[in-house]
Structure 1
Amino acid sequence: MAVLLDTATLPPRERRDALITTMLEASGVTRVDVEDEPVRARVDLWSFGTASILRAEASGFANVRTAKAARAASGEHIAIGVHEHGVARYQAGTITRAVPAGEILVVDVSKPFTFGWRGFGAAQSLNTWTEDLALPADLVRRAALRLRSSPLYGLFSRHILDITRNADQLSGSPAAGMLGAASIELARALIATAVDDAAETREVVEQTLVVQIRAYVRQHLRDPDLGPASIAAALSISPRHLHRVCANAGLRLEQWIITSRLDRAKAELVHPSARHRSIGRVAVGWGFKDPTHFSRRFRAAFGMLPSEWRRSAE
């Protein structure tokens, strides 16, 4: 985590300029209008691979991106925000809208806009590049006006709020990049399901489901009961649907699970911290119920027995 600003640590006379500087650097805007005095603010930024979460709680201010700056933008940057406290105001082109707590807002940060609030408020956003979101700009614009029609609206809002509440722990995890990728996929599904293009929506939802399948498998590789039935149940889909989605994505699920377990077990067998563990214990630890079956699989995959691999690394 990076605490970009905490005005409680600054003398009152420095807080206004500090808020302006921080928001200019963190949000890519070209002007920050401070609405309220005295200034009180905290701004945090957490990295999740190619995505990030930005949270700001502050007395009244407004971020402004001018048309001139938008024309000079070198890349397209999307922020999908969840307003947390107070009522904000958002303006883009001819659209002006109030944003109450709990509302989701899609902001193309590379285009002209104004966003802010009066009084004390708070908001957080998932930030990523448009190319990582991988959706047509026209679809994003249409969806932004009718996000509440998506069945994923509440899920996405809770997802971003939950990540933010636990961001210190999650951003420091080895899985932070995967969580960022999964969040981007969830954002894609939110946007796609807010429009009426059934074919495009179905494709995006299936791609998102594949990401969820991969993430679930990685998190549960050590579970000996991991398989199509348990994965389908965890994701609230039928085993038949699971197999169809995997087939469409070219993912041989059960083989991928075995290969992933073998790779993890192979690395652990020669890790200095695991030298005291028996081969059987390592095998069971990675979800293999039968050490003999593990040895056969290991030899088929790597051309040697686990014991031979371990000796070769001594």
Structure 2
Amino acid sequence: MHRRATGGPASPQGWASPHPKTALEGWFVLLLDLEDFAPRDRVEAFHHAMTDNSVPNEILHEESETGISARIEGWRVGGLDLFDMRSTGLEVRRTARHVRHHRDRPVVSVSLQTRGIHRAEQAGTQLTLGPQDICVFHELAPRTYGWSGPGASQALTFDTEHLGLPVDTVTRASVRLRSSPVHDLLLGHLRSLFQAPGRLETDPGAGALANATTDLVRALLTSAAHDDDDMRAREAMDDCLATRIMAYARRHLTDPDLGPERIAAAHAISKRQLYVVLARAGIRLEQWLIAERLEAACRLLATPRHAVLPVSAVAARCGFTSPSHFTRRFRAAYGTTPSEWRRHRTRPTDR
């Protein structure tokens, strides 16, 4: 038995962006908890909470002995909206009539099923989705989505203009995502985003992380929607590979043996292909590695708790095998020695 209502449900499945004025503040937001409402008021509360900037849908809530329940949390990470939703069974139907009433800036949602078996139908294809699947919806395409019994999902939404893919490409890809070699890569990446989204919100790298995530989603959709020999698919795969390479290098910056041979081997490509992919992204590997290591050294030198750490130790921690080489590179980049730079950065402010 279901209870029916119409309105705009929450973004965990790309249905709408609830309460944008609070969801975009830059910290954790509890968007909805139906435990705060009496059982008889929960259907109305669910839909009332989602009316701001909503996207029309038809929603059917599954009745249960304990009544309807839902909890939705949100974060903003470098321009991406992240949502975590847990609820009793429901089904969301978005028809062509609903699509005609879309908002000015529609979104594409990418979600993971973290509890229960989810069901979806779009482009005439029925999908059964579990924890090893990624689900994608374009706001401008009709679809049905839901689950029976307790269920949960985690989702991100992407502005369609920023993603830069037409509706038909997203829709065609959405029913064959597992055909792409990018699927499992993105699956692991999305899972990692939800391990500590609150910390990511305030991280200086949040903007770059959001851009890299968008690149990966674009690569998956382009790859899944097109044939292997399609030029757009190859370009998207190269863009994705460059992002993966840079992410890998940043994780291993402190390793002194990090170099083109190791990076190429880690990504199952030749050293020549490595340079070709990075050149297309405008990156010169050796110079980029040195610049990243020098930035890491600057952060260490300016941190009070590392004030007693010798410069040679800072060099080693940042992947430089020779202290003299580190000092030469540092002076060439910043016009001063590491020791002088540290004294300047940690000198007490005159009063």
Residue in 1 aligned with 2:10?
Answer: none
Q: Deviation of residue 151 (structure 1)?
A: 2.6
Which amino acid in the other structure matches residue 32 of structure 2?
L
Q: Tell me if structure 2 keeps the 8 A contact 1:90–1:113.
A: yes
Change (3 A) 1:272 1:228: same
Instruction: Give the counterpart letter for 2:255 in structure 1.
Output: D
Alpha-carbon spacing, 1:206–1:96, altered in 2? closer, same or farther (3 Å): closer
**Gap change, CA 1:72 and 1:188, over 3 Å in 2:** closer
Q: Higher mean Cα deviation, 188-197 or 248-257? A: 188-197
- For 1:102-149, what per-residue CA distance to the aligned partner results, in whole angstroms no more than 9, with x for missing partners? 443321124444433343333332321123323344422332233232
Partner Cα separation in structure 2 for residue 150 and residue 214 of structure 1: 21
1:44/1:238 Cα in 2 relative to 1: closer, same or farther (>3 Å)?
farther
Provide structure 1 residue ranges, at least 5 long, that are not aligned to the other structure. Answer: none
CA contact (8 A) 2:215 2:240 kept: yes
Q: Which residue of 2 aligns with 1:203?
A: 235
Name the residue aligned to 2:55: 29
2:220 corresponds to which letter in structure 1?
L
TM-score by length of 2: 0.76
> Does residue 289 of structure 2 align to residue 257 of structure 1?
yes
For residue 296 of structure 1, the aligned residue among 328, 332, 344 is: 328
The structure-2 alpha-carbon separation of the partners of 1:29 and 1:119, relative to structure 1 and needing over 3 Å to count, comes to: farther
Q: Secondary structure at the match of 1:260?
A: helix
Give the aligned partner of residue 101 of structure 1: 130
Q: In the alignment, what sits opposite 2:68?
A: 39
Distance of aligned partners of 1:154 and 1:255 in 2 relative to their CA distance in 1, 3 Å threshold: closer
Label 1:299 to 1:193 Cα distance change in 2 as closer, same or farther (>3 A). Answer: same
* Bigger shift: residues 174-183 or 257-266: 174-183
| Post-superposition offset of 1:72 | 4.7
My pick for the range that moved more, 177-186 or 222-231, is 177-186
Unaligned runs of 5+ in 2: 1-27
Deviations 1:149-180 (A, max 9, x none): 22333443444345435545655655554444
- Name the structure 2 match of 1:223: 255
Q: Which moved more, 1:179-188 or 1:160-169?
A: 160-169
User: Distance in 2 between the 1:23 and 1:96 partners?
Assistant: 28
Give CA-to-partner distance per residue, 1:270-311, whole Å, 9 cap, x none: 444433332222222211111111111112222222233334
Q: TM-score, normalised by structure 1?
A: 0.84
Native 8 Å contact 1:52 1:180 kept in 2:
no
Tell me the residue number matched to 1:146.
176
Aligned length: 312
Taking a change above 3 Å as real, the CA distance of residues 104 and 16 of structure 1, as seen in their structure-2 partners, is same
Alignment match, 1:12: 39
Amino acid at match of 2:268: S
More helix by share: 1
Compute the displacement of 1:267 (Å). Answer: 4.0
Q: Distance in 1 between matches of 2:193 and 2:341?
A: 40
